[in-house]
Amino acid sequence: MTLSEMNQLLAERGIQLTKSLGQNFMHDANQVRRIIAAAELTRADRVLEIGPGLGPLTEQLLASAGHILAVEKDQRFIPLLTERFAANLKDGALELTPGDALELVARDPRDWTDWKLVANLPYSVASPILVEFALARTCPQRIVVTLQLEVARRLFARRDDDDYGVLSLLTQLRYLPGEWFKIPPGSFFPSPEVDSACVCLRRRPQPLLEPELTRTFTRLVKRGFSQRRKMMLKLLKAEWPLEALNRAFAHLELSPQIRAEAVSLDQFVALTRFLAGGNPL
């Protein structure tokens, strides 16, 4: 879909884009093709698309995958999408659901294990959506999404990196960061004031933690990074007994003065197991 086609559709429907919803629609066909290529789609794939908007990515997804579930929060785009993809809705290749994607993931009991998430995520909800999926009991096998470059750097960060933090750890618990590429502002309408990137995350072949320990891991990470300049041990003792923490830190050879930014994902996993009463190794 070209920029002129986008402008024409919006003008015909009298739609003005809403900044609070993070509506920056991609019109660069080359970038859309790169996103589709990164997803490595086949006709056997089921794809979740969040925020289809005018449908430029939806169109390419339908040409490559077997089934698309598109979730659109802005009710103004539902009639437009319904009209544009009437044939795909009729034959079942496309399922169009109005609503909030975060609420959908929280309330929808479906198993996402064999799904792929491919989307130009609204910038305002990109991080919460990724965390929601990463911490879900069942999560998509692959995530290929466009988001702010700043958020992409957090997804790929390792310990001691400036961007390393809560988002890095909560997503990397379940996903291995893969390839990524920058997307210039001019590829979107309207052009965002920030740089963007498309990232590919692949679900780990084997989980690092048992599902029942995910909540403890999340508490540990969030508390550890609640005040970045403070020593992690002092922060954690607000939720765990100091004696247990001292034993855990000594067993894992973590300095009592260490800050969370210097603790690796594997060390957070081991610490979670130790504090939960399991085997930390």
Question: What is the structure's pLDDT at 281?
Answer: 45
Question: What is the structure's pLDDT at 107?
Answer: 79
What is the token pair recorded at 126?
A: 């990109």
- Residue 257: other Cβ atoms inside 10 A: 10
Question: What is the structure's pLDDT at 181?
Answer: 97
Q: What is the DSSP letter of 46?
A: E
Place of tokens 């056997």: 44
CA 271 distance to own-chain centroid = 25
Ordered structural domains, the chain, with CATH:
3-203 (3.40.50.150), 211-275 (1.10.8.100)
Omega within 30 of 0 (cis) for the link into 79: no
Question: What is the structure's pLDDT at 251?
Answer: 94
Question: What is the structure's pLDDT at 38?
Answer: 97
CA 20 distance to own-chain centroid = 19
Percent of the chain surpassing pLDDT 70: 99
Q: What are the distances in angstroms from CA 155 to CA 133, 160, 192, 202, 259?
A: 14, 14, 20, 12, 19
Kindly write down the DSSP assignment for every residue of 2-27, as one continuous string. -HHHHHHHHHHHT----GGGT--EE-
Sequence-distant (≥ 6) Cβ neighbours of residue 154 within 8 angstroms: 127, 163, 164, 165, 167, 168
pTM for the complete prediction?
A: 0.93
Q: What is the pLDDT along the chain (281 residues), one digit of tens a residue?
A: 888 989 898 998 889 887 777 788 999 999 999 999 999 999 999 999 999 999 999 999 999 999 999 999 999 999 999 999 999 999 999 999 999 988 887 777 789 999 999 999 988 889 999 999 999 889 999 999 999 999 999 999 999 999 999 999 999 999 999 999 999 999 999 898 899 999 999 999 999 999 999 999 999 999 999 998 999 999 999 999 999 999 999 999 999 999 999 999 999 999 999 999 754 44
